[in-house]
A and B are shown apart, each in its own frame.
Chain A
Amino acid sequence: MSSSDTPSFQYPLSWRILDRAESVAGLWPGRWSSLTGYLFLVPALLLVFVLVIGLVYIFDYSLHELDLSTYRLKDAFSLVNYQAALKSVTYRIVVLRSLGASAIVTLITMVLAFPYAYVMVRTRSSFTRKFLLISLFLPFFIGQVVRAYGWLIILGKEGLLNTFITSLGLPPVKLIYNYPAVILGLVQYMLPFAVLLLAPAVTSISEDIELASEGLGANWVQTFRHVVLPLARPGLIGAGVVVFTLTLTDFAMPEILGGGTTDFIANSIYDGFFQISNPGLGAALSMILVTLGSVIVTVVFFLAGTGTLVSTEGTP
């Protein structure tokens, strides 16, 4: 089989590939090794930079007034778009509506999500835990649009609930295209986010502390109020901030379940660009939304700490 001129021994292919790769990697000089970490960061920094350039463009757009004769933005800088956005009663209502919805959705979601996270972490049955986890991940992995569509079938004019109501001989009720429908859709959308952010916080609370509290005569409501919730505070802040900002900037739920009656800021921005074709005004609203979100998050972090969102770990 083997002739005398072929070598009788060869290193395995994977070794030879690795050696070749190693020699290529060797081209990276040893005295640059302190730069390796920065090299690793380059792809991620570049990807995020795309968003930064986009933000710069939008900021630039917001400083130029629309020329109504050509439907292009004028070259001269002006603050006309911001004046228009801030003076307009319509936009003031939209901003207040978005902020109000964010507060309501955050409150309801936290009240619903905390017991879910608590039960999921504390249950003794691994089957229950798995069931609760799957019920959480399944909707998380089904997009917002599909879930909104599900709610339309349930709440629609000839939907599940109205069929039930009319079968009782009552007149049909208008359940969609209003504020509560949007809130419902948003709460359901936010639940998985909130629970997944709260669960590690609950895990970190030792059960012994709860037992100690109960051993000292506190009932479970008192234990919750004075022991569990204060200890879960970082998780509650983190989850609350995420739910609040995601709601504030949401587009799909107000669009699909609100049907144009309950626009949020994102919907107004979209309309600014595509409906009334005034990119300058849409861009100004975008900058207002970015500012609003950043200010609220900064104030919360300043007043209550950063919660679990900013990790101080991982320092080598």
Chain B
Amino acid sequence: MTGARGKTIVLWSIVWFNLIALSLPTIIILGASFTSGDIVRFPPDGLSLKWYARLWLLDDFKDAFLRTLYVSVICTIVSIPAGTLAALALTRYRIRFRTAIQVYLLLPFTIPLVVSGLGMMIVFGEVRILGQLWPVGIGLCCINLPFMMWAVSATVNALDNNLENAAANCGAPPLQAFLTVTLPAVMPGVITGALLMFILAFNEFLVSLFLTDARIVTLPVSIYNSIRSVITPDLAAVSVVYIVIALFAVWLLDRLVGLELFLKSK
């Protein structure tokens, strides 16, 4: 087991175990959503698309879906400038107390989500915006912002300082140099970050649970509420919506920046 063959066997057995653990829930949900029976059981009672057909008739689902989309778009739109500019400031500009600011900007990751969620629920309640939909998007942006900054800083570090100097030397005023040299150079980071922000906002459950109520419930919270009662195939069909969106996001990320980007060492 200590030879080269042993290494392959041991490592790949663990990898296969991981692959099964990672994909089993997804595959099972896909399977369960196509059953023709009224409950999820094995083997399924038969194949049908009736749960998908029923999905489109459910106004509750459609509304929750659209609300989730709205919230995720707000989160992404706010986080693109906020995260990109902060990452540029920390990597390209002379900033005093840089380390302190970095630690501060990592607070969204160090404060537990349950505490952030409750805190924002209280703050939003105090300024009387709790119960509206747009603050949920802002809240999701607050808790995931480091992802955006991380994605942009990863590309800024690869950007050559001299490019901006060259632009200035050629007579480009600061804004033009920023828009035509700096921004295009960090674009892969901005795209990666924006995609992460969108998909994480679309999935975020705990903070959404605190910031929404029955009138403005979003999809992850509504799935959670339905899980508590009884397991029916319509819930599996709703979950498949998530699987499809995740597939699309992975494809998009791979097309735009390449998944191999995440393997690079800094």
Interface residues of A, Cβ cutoff 8 Å to B: 18, 21-22, 25-26, 33-34, 36-38, 40-41, 43-45, 47-48, 50-55, 57-58, 61, 111-113, 115-116, 118-121, 129-130, 132-139, 141-154, 156, 158-160, 163-164, 184, 187-188, 191-192, 196, 199-201, 203-204, 219-222, 245, 248-249, 251-252, 256, 266, 269-270, 273, 282-283, 286, 289-290, 293-294, 297, 308, 310-311, 313-316
Task: State whether B85 touches A40 (Cβ < 8 A).
Answer: yes
Task: State whether B259 touches A138 (Cβ < 8 A).
Answer: no
In angstroms, Cα B116 to Cα A129, docked, is 36
**A–B Cβ pairs within 8 angstroms, 21 of them:** A26-B173, A37-B95, A38-B89, A44-B149, A51-B142, A115-B14, A115-B15, A129-B260, A139-B22, A142-B26, A146-B242, A150-B29, A153-B29, A159-B42, A199-B263, A200-B262, A220-B4, A266-B114, A269-B114, A293-B112, A316-B161
Task: Give the chain B neighbours of A41 by CB distance below 8 A.
Answer: 85-86, 89-90, 95, 101
Task: State whether B118 touches A54 (Cβ < 8 A).
Answer: yes
In angstroms, Cα B17 to Cα A184, docked, is 13
Interface residues of B, Cβ cutoff 8 Å to A: 1-4, 6-7, 10-12, 14-15, 17-19, 21-26, 28-29, 32, 39-43, 78, 81-83, 85-86, 88-95, 98, 101-102, 104-105, 107-108, 110-116, 118-123, 126, 138-139, 141-143, 145, 149, 153, 156-157, 161, 173-176, 179, 199, 202-206, 220, 223-224, 227, 231, 235-236, 239, 242-243, 245-247, 249-250, 253-254, 259-260, 262-266
Task: Give the chain B neighbours of A219 by CB distance below 8 A.
Answer: 2-3
Task: Give the chain B neighbours of A150 by CB distance below 8 A.
Answer: 24-26, 28-29, 239
Task: State whether B224 touches A145 (Cβ < 8 A).
Answer: yes
In angstroms, Cα B10 to Cα A53, docked, is 50
Task: Give the chain B neighbours of A120 by CB distance below 8 A.
Answer: 263
Task: State whether B119 touches A54 (Cβ < 8 A).
Answer: yes
Across the interface, name the chain B residue whose C-beta is closest to A33.
B174
A19 → B minimal CB distance (Å)? 9
In the complex, besides A41-B85, A44-B83, A204-B266, 20 extra interface pairs with C-beta distance below 8 angstroms are A37-B92, A40-B89, A50-B120, A51-B111, A54-B115, A61-B122, A111-B14, A112-B17, A119-B11, A130-B254, A138-B250, A148-B227, A150-B24, A160-B28, A163-B42, A188-B21, A220-B4, A256-B227, A270-B114, A294-B110
In angstroms, Cα B40 to Cα A150, docked, is 11
Task: State whether A25 touches B89 (Cβ < 8 A).
Answer: no
In the complex where A135-B19, A200-B266 touch, is A44 in contact with B120 (Cβ < 8 A)?
Answer: no
